Structure 1
């Protein structure tokens, strides 16, 4: 059995509950520990009293080292700081054989225990998931945010797994900002060399794991039954969806969601809709429930973990774009990202 853990505050509770219900649909043998990052979140989770979701109060989790850095970091930075420490906490307190940190905005289409099966088959103590960026800007993106995504990191409770987990905890406590300097990006740039430096670390070979806005253009839908898996092709490989990372969804008042997926040439709208329409329908049901039962109304207008720089001056914007495309990397970014973002903008929103 796999043990899962995640963390979120009230602003992400709608996505997290939707994720939990997707796990429930396909997996019968698991437990999910949730670190509630504020008191309201903990109270709601306790009141729901779901059998396989165990809430952890922040004050019960925090130690001296975490409290020392807490005052110096934003909420987003502190959440990233806590991710490795949460796995360590669950390992120490509950002694699972395998423990995976998962992001709260994932959505599952298969049994999560397939991760353990792959780790056993490959004799691994740690398994991570690659970003699999599009080739057009892979080099620049890997340099900035890292080759691997902290979205589903699984550790075996053995000497090797615990040793690397301790190293990661220490690194996150030392520094956990999104500098984009090729060295630091939250908790995930630290993973860049893990498979090279440690023989017991592997990247998942499951092409259906970690589908996300930044790699969606590489997938083409083959088929989907009404209640069955989404089957796809990716880089010449056949796969079926395991989990999708619904990162970057923003909302307007009411039921309008911006998927922020139409930012690359070649994104299949058919596949985008196959993922996003059922997910958003599920998400809006939970939003309605949270508002009616607990008075929680969530409208996220930008990613809460990364600082947003508002460039309102048109001349400055134009100068910034021209300066960006003056380099070869910037030109590719403009052609494959900024331009389709502008041209496809009207296709990006979904009204539920």
Structure 2
């Protein structure tokens, strides 16, 4: 069976989008990845890349007057969250043969084939799948950010539309990057779905299959099917051709850095090289602070020292 997935990102997050794609090429089996292009720049670039198994959705053509109106009142991130419940609708409307579609955050990365997730979903007999944040106790933010995470969600065309339409309407009404009246972005709306839509919604029982920095201390990394690189951002380095990565605010176990982040950075580096090969700019995703510059200089110094030591230790 060919699985259909949908994600969204703009030209700023093209590196993460390409890293997600690379991981799907290795692990997703038969699939189609639909990409909602948040700006025309990324639509044109992805069109030039002409990636196998990818179909593009151009937001500037799909936007309604209602969406354009709320866009003016929200940040780019908030508008992306507003559009999340629209993404399955855009896919279903574009291809009547698609019977289910899985929404993915663009900063997800596949480590294994996701067949175990789909098997559990099919066994549940439900029409929509959501995943628990599964916070490690020391990082529990469910009270403000929500019990469930908008990261990997399966929507059936038949039976899931009631939930999706309800969510779409709520996100149009309010979707902001702040906690307010029991809401937060597009995410807190999911908190009562197991009661509100008990007949349609299944929560992934095997929580270890979807992992992220907030539960890296809780689960063995080897069980993860997908890893969510929340907060990871690309920064410009000390020269125009060098880049550094900020891995976010969560402390990560050494084994996670070695076996998860180091492997992801290989895909991210390849994505950056692809972008530069076409002569396109790789944009900084966060402003570089004085601390970033200091640690960049320190890292550069130690790299030079390490090279000198290695050279000195080599036999003549």
TM-score (norm 1): 0.76
Which residues of 2 match residues 71-90 of structure 1 at below 5 A?
71-90=72-91
1:215 aligns to what?
215
* Corresponding position: 1:100 with 2:102: yes
* Deviation, structure 1 residue 298: 2.4
Q: Distance in 2 between matches of 1:248 and 1:156?
A: 30
2:231 aligns to what?
248
1:123 aligns to what?
125
Does the 8 Å CA contact 1:32/1:53 hold for their aligned counterparts?
yes
2:137 aligns to what?
135
* Corresponding position: 1:289 with 2:280: no
Superimposed CA distance per residue, residues 270-299 of structure 1 (whole angstroms, 9 cap, x where no aligned partner): 123210001112201211220231422122
1:307 aligns to what?
none
Does the 8 Å CA contact 1:4/1:31 hold for their aligned counterparts?
yes
1:55 aligns to what?
56
* Deviation, structure 1 residue 18: 0.8
Q: Distance in 1 between matches of 2:48 and 2:77?
A: 26
2:150 aligns to what?
150
SS in structure 2 of the partner of residue 34 of structure 1:
strand
SS in structure 2 of the partner of residue 59 of structure 1:
helix
Change in Cα spacing, 1:124 to 1:257, as seen in structure 2 (3 Å) is same
Which residues of 2 match residues 182-221 of structure 1 at below 5 A?
183-199=182-198, 200-220=200-220
2:284 aligns to what?
299
Does the 8 Å CA contact 1:2/1:113 hold for their aligned counterparts?
no
* Deviation, structure 1 residue 251: 3.6
* Deviation, structure 1 residue 121: 0.7
Q: Distance in 2 between matches of 1:294 and 1:44?
A: 11
Q: 1:268 aligns with which of 237, 248, 253?
A: 253
* Deviation, structure 1 residue 262: 4.7
Change in Cα spacing, 1:272 to 1:350, as seen in structure 2 (3 Å) is farther
Task: Give the superposed CA RMSD.
Answer: 2.3
Superimposed CA distance per residue, residues 75-98 of structure 1 (whole angstroms, 9 cap, x where no aligned partner): 111111111111112123323211
SS in structure 2 of the partner of residue 99 of structure 1:
strand
Superimposed CA distance per residue, residues 42-90 of structure 1 (whole angstroms, 9 cap, x where no aligned partner): 0111111122111111122112321221111111111111111111121
Does the 8 Å CA contact 1:84/1:165 hold for their aligned counterparts?
yes
* Deviation, structure 1 residue 115: 3.1
Does the 8 Å CA contact 1:107/1:243 hold for their aligned counterparts?
yes
SS in structure 1 of the partner of residue 154 of structure 2:
strand
* Deviation, structure 1 residue 169: 0.6
Instruction: Give unmatched runs, 5+ long, in structure 2.
Output: 290-294, 304-316
Does the 8 Å CA contact 2:8/2:38 hold for their aligned counterparts?
yes
TM-score (norm 2): 0.84
Does the 8 Å CA contact 1:178/1:184 hold for their aligned counterparts?
no
* Deviation, structure 1 residue 137: 4.4
Instruction: Give unmatched runs, 5+ long, in structure 1.
Output: 222-230, 232-239, 303-309, 311-345
* Deviation, structure 1 residue 250: 2.8
SS in structure 2 of the partner of residue 190 of structure 1:
helix
2:170 aligns to what?
171
Q: How many pairs are equivalent?
A: 286
Q: Distance in 2 between matches of 1:206 and 1:261?
A: 26
1:11 aligns to what?
12
Does the 8 Å CA contact 1:208/1:243 hold for their aligned counterparts?
no
